[in-house]
């Protein structure tokens, strides 16, 4: 009986033996997309007439890649043939320029001279050359202890994810806000020390790619508003100044961004909106309470500090 591709397909459905210990392994074991790979067959025995290769979970015609007749070397492509596959005389299957779509279960079915078939199974995982991921944020400008940060590592590829903060591996305290798949980082009540550059990196056994940094600003304050004279804090103090001498008061605070400053004298706002106020010539008219009010335009918070300024002695007669 001459064996043809058609008769082989009919026979394979009728005479199935399950006693085989055929196995299939890919070489290389962890191929990247674009590699040329071979599904190597182990455990073949006896004189074989033909091979069937399937790319799928069952021996279904829809999954048939190719049939190969050993005596003639004829190869008959099946419905699942992509144009990249070729069967070797020893039963192994070559795939040129493998793609992620080639991943999955492969089945080799053999036919011997007793018209018995044996099958062997293998699995192929093709890893992508990963494109650069992108970090997306709900906002890059947040208010401390009030706002929630949500960062997403966006990538179409199935890959492992790790995060970096200012170029270093993400601190454990921040990692506690990661989703189970590692792609979403959430921080409730963001803190100022968490401001900085965030990146995500995706990786698989053959490729790694890191995103561009996204810079996060955390606004806070104003805190510790103070009035200084000659770099010395004078908040709450009484400053005595000689008649007809000058005095410069500075307002300082811890704040991001730098706050807007407003000065008041005895409860009345002054036009000067700088971080300092200057009294060029001290007289009795300048005696009183000077108040600095610091306002943060982002947090909408404010703070103030005051000092009392007095002449150090009697004013000279007019």
What is the distance between the alpha carbons of residues 222 and 116, in angstroms, rounded to a whole number? Answer: 84
Could you tell me what percent of the chain has a pLDDT over 90? Answer: 81
Q: Is the pLDDT of residue 11 over 60?
A: no
Per CATH, 134-212 and 221-311 having the same topology is answered: yes
Instruction: Tell me whether residue 58 is exposed, middle or buried, using C-beta atoms within 10 angstroms of its C-beta: 0 to 12, 13 to 18, 19 or more.
Output: exposed
- What's the CATH code, domain 221-311? 2.60.40.10
What is the distance between the alpha carbons of residues 142 and 198, in angstroms, rounded to a whole number? Answer: 14
What is the distance between the alpha carbons of residues 72 and 205, in angstroms, rounded to a whole number? Answer: 40
Q: Is the pLDDT of residue 301 over 50?
A: yes
Confidence bin at 13 (pLDDT 50/70/90):
very low
Q: Is the pLDDT of residue 12 over 50?
A: no
Output DSSP code: residue 32. B
Q: Is the pLDDT of residue 6 over 60?
A: no
- The residue ranges of every structural domain in the chain are 5-124, 134-212, 221-311
pTM of the full predicted structure? 0.76
What is the mean pLDDT of the segment spanning 147-166?
A: 94
Reference 160, options 204, 219, 119, 211; nearest CA is 204
Q: Is the pLDDT of residue 299 over 60?
A: yes
What's the confidence (pLDDT) of residue 163?
96
16 vs 302 pLDDT, higher one: 302
pLDDT tens per residue across span 302-316: 999 999 999 987 655
Q: Which residues lie below 8 Å from residue 153, measured CB to CB, with a gap of 6+? A: 133, 134, 135, 161, 163, 182, 183, 184, 185, 200, 202, 211
279 close to 272: Cβ distance less than 8 angstroms:
no
What's the confidence (pLDDT) of residue 46?
86
Q: CATH classification of 5-124 is 2.60.40.10, yes or no?
A: yes
What is the mean pLDDT of the segment spanning 97-122?
A: 94
Angle at 227 between CA 221 and CA 232, to 5 degrees: 120
- What's the CATH code, domain 134-212? 2.60.40.10
What is the distance between the alpha carbons of residues 70 and 110, in angstroms, rounded to a whole number? Answer: 10
CA dist list (Å): 24 to 29, 64, 72, 201? 11, 16, 24, 33
Give the CA dihedral 183, 187, 191, 196, nearest 10 degrees.
10
* 3-class SS of residue 75: strand
What's the confidence (pLDDT) of residue 8?
47
* 3-class SS of residue 135: strand
Q: What value does the mean pLDDT of the chain take?
A: 90
Q: Is the pLDDT of residue 216 over 90?
A: yes
């Amino acid at each position: 009986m001459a064996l043809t591709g058609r008769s082989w397909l009919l026979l394979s459905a009728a005479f199935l033996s399950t006693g085989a210990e055929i196995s299939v392994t890919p070489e290389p074991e962890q191929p990247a997309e674009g590699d040329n790979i071979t599904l190597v067959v182990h455990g073949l025995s006896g004189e074989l007439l033909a091979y069937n290769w399937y790319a799928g979970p069952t021996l279904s015609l829809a999954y048939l890649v190719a049939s190969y007749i050993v005596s003639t070397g004829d190869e008959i492509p099946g419905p699942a043939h992509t144009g990249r596959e070729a069967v070797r005389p020893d039963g192994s299957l070559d795939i040129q320029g493998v793609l992620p779509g080639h991943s999955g279960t492969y089945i080799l079915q053999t036919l011997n001279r007793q018209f018995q078939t044996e099958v062997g199974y293998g699995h192929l995982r093709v890893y992508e050359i990963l494109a650069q991921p992108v970090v997306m944020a709900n906002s890059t400008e947040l208010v401390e202890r009030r706002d929630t940060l949500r960062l997403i590592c966006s990538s179409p590829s199935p890959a492992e994810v790790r995060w970096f903060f200012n170029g270093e591996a993400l601190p454990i305290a921040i990692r506690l806000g990661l989703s189970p798949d590692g792609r979403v980082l959430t921080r409730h009540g963001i803190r100022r020390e968490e401001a900085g550059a965030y990146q995500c990196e995706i990786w698989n056994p053959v490729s790694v790619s890191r995103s561009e940094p996204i810079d996060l600003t955390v606004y806070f304050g104003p805190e510790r508003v103070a009035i200084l004279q000659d770099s010395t804090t004078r908040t709450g103090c009484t400053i005595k100044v000689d008649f007809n001498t000058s005095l410069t008061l500075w307002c300082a605070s811890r704040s991001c961004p730098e706050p807007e400053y407003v000065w008041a004298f005895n409860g009345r706002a002054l036009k000067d909106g700088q971080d300092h106020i200057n009294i060029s010539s001290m007289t009795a008219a300048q005696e009183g309470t000077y108040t600095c009010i610091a306002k943060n335009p982002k947090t909408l918070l404010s703070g103030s500090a005051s000092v009392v300024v007095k002449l150090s002695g009697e004013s000279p007669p007019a």
